[in-house]
Amino acid sequence: MRRSIVIPATEFVRSGDADIAYKVIGEGPRDLVLAFPLVSNVDVFLELTENAEFVERLTHLGRVILFDKRGTGMSDRSTERVTVEQHSDDLIAVLDAAESTRAVLLGWFDGGATCLVTAARHPGRVESVVANEVLAAGRPVEGFPWGFTSRLGEAAMRKFITLGWGQTVASRLMAPEWASDPRLIEWVARYERLSVPPSGAVRVFEDALDLDIRAYLPHVDVPVLVIHNVGLPGAPSEPFEWLADELPRGRLRLARTPASVPFMIPSDDAVDDIEEFLVGTRSGGRRELASIVFTDVVGSTTTLAREGDLKWRNQLSSHRESLRRSLARYGGREVNTAGDGFVACFPLPSSGLRFAGEAVRDAAGIGLGLRAGMHCGEVLVDGADLIGIAVHVAARVASHAGAGEVFVTDTVRVLVDGSGLRFESVGSHRLKGVPGAWHLFRMAAQT
């Protein structure tokens, strides 16, 4: 079964006179390149759980390549204006560094424009393009009466960027619903600050306004899916219909998603659209509430070194057989295994806790120090796999426990009130990769 993605360190490739930052995640039958809109920082982008889940779902379709374009994120910061052709050259340099001979290009706004230009300039390197909210020109021009904004709007946007960059002013305007979510606001502010300074944001905005890729469109001889969210305020469908008509093999998808800024936090529907375009089906996934238990063996490396490969393998095999017997007893389902780790889900939190308690006792009986963590939350069911912050939280909670201990979140404790299970507070903790402080509890031994 699939494991959660491992996020690798950022790498760099030289493109002309600039260093371009990129990551390669997962593996699969095809390469998928993400071209971000306006500004980006690939490290900070993946700090948000929703974005990590988005990339994780994409890895079901292939190897995912992300990069910071020239002038943003960890790529070289330039005080010069950058052309779409330079961005296209940088994208090809990233493909070369990742040893990708041919790729699907996924881009939003000006990042999508870079993808289309790359397909026209390097047809042998591009399999297809998904162009999200891409305008053929940044300003109204003859034959294309649309653009990012009016002249008055340009001046206002420059002012907002200059005065409010790093304080989420522009993001709050585009997505007012975020204002009530401190976690998102904190992330957006960090994303802005670590992507570019205010002057850099203005330059990127002006580069986007100066875009005009109309001359390249007749030469984009690969399948292109043009996606427009009809729910975006102030964004008519006509320029996207025009783009799909101008592309030799263009197809328009009018979507309706609740995300006001879908390029910063892509929706599940975005992956479904991409999958249908690439393979002809939408495996999709359903969301449900689940009780997630994560277990692993404390000091497994030391045990392996002490006992030797054969004895450790037999011990681990006995341990997993015991876990699966307990799993069947309490009505749970195995999600995945990785090394000595084990992830299971249950319809009832009390069942998950009793499973965890039995698991640590049985492990002790064969000489293993097992620890467990549990959280309840909404997950996306994708085949046999579960994707969602609840899975990550359960694993992080377990990492704070010691051998023979079961740690849970306050959510779990509240849900099982009245079950007879007892808990002791172990204080507030930071969970790696999960925003905020979490109050954790140790489950008392069952008698």
**Are 234 and 295 part of one and the same domain?**
no
**Are 159 and 201 part of one and the same domain?**
yes
Length of the chain counted residue by residue: 447
DSSP 254-301: EE--S-SSTTTS--HHHHHHHHHHHHS-----EEEEEEEEEEEETTHH
Q: What is the pLDDT of residue 285?
A: 62
Q: Residue 309: helix, strand or coil by DSSP?
A: helix
The CA radius of gyration of the chain, in Å to the nearest whole number, is 24
Boundaries of domain holding 142 = 11-279
**Are 211 and 234 part of one and the same domain?**
yes
Q: Please check whether residue 404 is in contact with residue 372, taking contact to mean a CB–CB distance below 8 angstroms.
A: no
**Are 308 and 224 part of one and the same domain?**
no
Q: Please check whether residue 396 is in contact with residue 419, taking contact to mean a CB–CB distance below 8 angstroms.
A: no
Q: What is the pLDDT of residue 188?
A: 86
**Are 344 and 249 part of one and the same domain?**
no
**Are 157 and 245 part of one and the same domain?**
yes
Q: Residue 395 domain-assigned?
A: yes
Q: Please check whether residue 52 is in contact with residue 7, taking contact to mean a CB–CB distance below 8 angstroms.
A: yes
Output the domain CATH number for residue 338. Answer: 3.30.70.1230
Domain count, the chain: 2
Q: Residue 65 domain-assigned?
A: yes
Q: What is the pLDDT of residue 1?
A: 36
Output the domain CATH number for residue 155. Answer: 3.40.50.1820
Q: Residue 188 domain-assigned?
A: yes
**Are 241 and 330 part of one and the same domain?**
no
Tokens 């990492």 -> residue: 399
Of 263, 279, 295, the position where a domain reaches its end is: 279
Print pLDDT tens along the chain (447 aa). 344 567 899 999 999 999 999 999 998 899 999 999 999 999 999 988 888 888 988 998 999 999 999 999 999 987 788 999 999 999 999 999 999 999 999 999 999 999 999 999 999 999 999 999 999 999 999 899 988 765 556 777 777 677 778 887 766 666 666 767 788 888 888 999 999 998 998 899 999 999 999 999 999 999 999 999 887 777 888 999 999 999 999 999 887 765 555 556 666 678 888 888 888 766 666 678 899 999 999 988 777 777 787 888 888 889 999 999 999 999 999 988 877 889 999 999 999 999 999 999 999 998 899 999 999 988 877 666 777 778 888 989 999 999 999 999 999 999 999 888 999 999 999 887 676 789 999 999 876
Q: How many CA atoms lie within 13 A of 343 on its CB side?
A: 24
Of 224, 247, 279, the position where a domain reaches its end is: 279
Q: Residue 20 domain-assigned?
A: yes
Q: What angle do CA 243, 229, 46 make, to 5 degrees?
A: 105
Cα dihedral: 213, 104, 21, 206 (round 10): 20
**Are 325 and 261 part of one and the same domain?**
no
**Are 23 and 102 part of one and the same domain?**
yes
Instruction: Give dist(CA 250, CA 126) in Å, integer.
Output: 14
**Are 176 and 312 part of one and the same domain?**
no
**Are 270 and 292 part of one and the same domain?**
no
Q: What is the pLDDT of residue 283?
A: 64
Of 252, 279, 306, the position where a domain reaches its end is: 279
